[in-house]
Amino acid sequence: MIKNVIVRKPSKNFADGITTADLGKPDYEKALEQHEGYIEALKECGCSVTVLEADERYPDSTFVEDVAVVTEKCAIITRPGAASRKGEEKEIIDTLKKFYSNIEYLEGSACLEGGDILRIDKHFYIGQSKRTNAEGARQLTAILNKYGYTASAVPVKQILHLKTGVIYAGNNTVIAAGEFKDNDVFKKFKMIKVDDDEAYSANCVKMNGHLIIPKGFSKSKKAIVDAGFKIVEVEMSEFEKMDGGLTCLSLRIPEDSSK
């Protein structure tokens, strides 16, 4: 169950962020409208949403998931791998202190972004990508082990982040695109395979019995609905232009079911 979610408004220089999408420059006002729609979708799924003001120093700062990994037992402050994002992680600490007494930190040569972390039950898959290195994966694994979680590394060869290409939808099912459609790491799960022309739609948010999905991908929508999932659709065109998916835009704080 997710009761609390943290998001950050897009900055005015949002279009100056890092992207390889080649889909044109995002419209800032439209991005703000879509961000509001995203917040409404989270609320529709039963969440209380903490909305942080835009940080104009960091064009990519609306992608708040990358600066921390959150669990029931602790929050872990990451170390972003992109040079333009270094320091961004410090701006989430005070907000996370409102929800956590245990905050851990990656150190030294570690690089890790939250978009590379896929949690399935008590296990965390850590994508080793251009943004997350082996030392980042090692340090995160050690921290997670301390709190009773397990973790393993997964190579990410062709895409930005692990969750760009695979997410957990619940009910022992993953949604996968590209290099992860035939990846042996996920062969024990049921899999919804996304066509290459709708690859962006693989990134969805599992939220309290619903899947929040991006609008405009009819084949993926049908496959997800046919698999029995309840969906909430949101428009994401301006974030797609900046290599940003639905999971990137929030930190979703899980409740401790043992309490």
Integer-rounded Cα radius of gyration of the chain = 17
Q: How far apart are CA 97 and CA 88, in angstroms?
A: 16
Give the pairing of strands 48-52 and 231-234.
unpaired
> Exactly one of 45, 47, 204, 248 is catalytic; which is it?
248
Q: What is the dihedral of CA 189, 194, 196, 202, to 10 degrees?
A: -90
Between CA 86 and CA 95, with CA 89 as vertex, the angle to 5 degrees is 160
Q: Is 248 part of the annotated catalytic residue set?
A: yes
User: Which amino acid, residue 117?
Assistant: I
Q: Is 45 part of the annotated catalytic residue set?
A: no
Burial class (CB in 10 A: 0-12, 13-18, 19+), 139: buried
Give the pairing of strands 190-193 and 173-176.
parallel
Scanning 130-178, the segments in alpha helix (DSSP H) are: 134-146, 162-165
Which is nearest to 123 in space by CA: 209, 205, 200, 188?
Answer: 188
> Exactly one of 45, 74, 161, 204 is catalytic; which is it?
161
The residues carrying an active-site annotation are: 161, 248
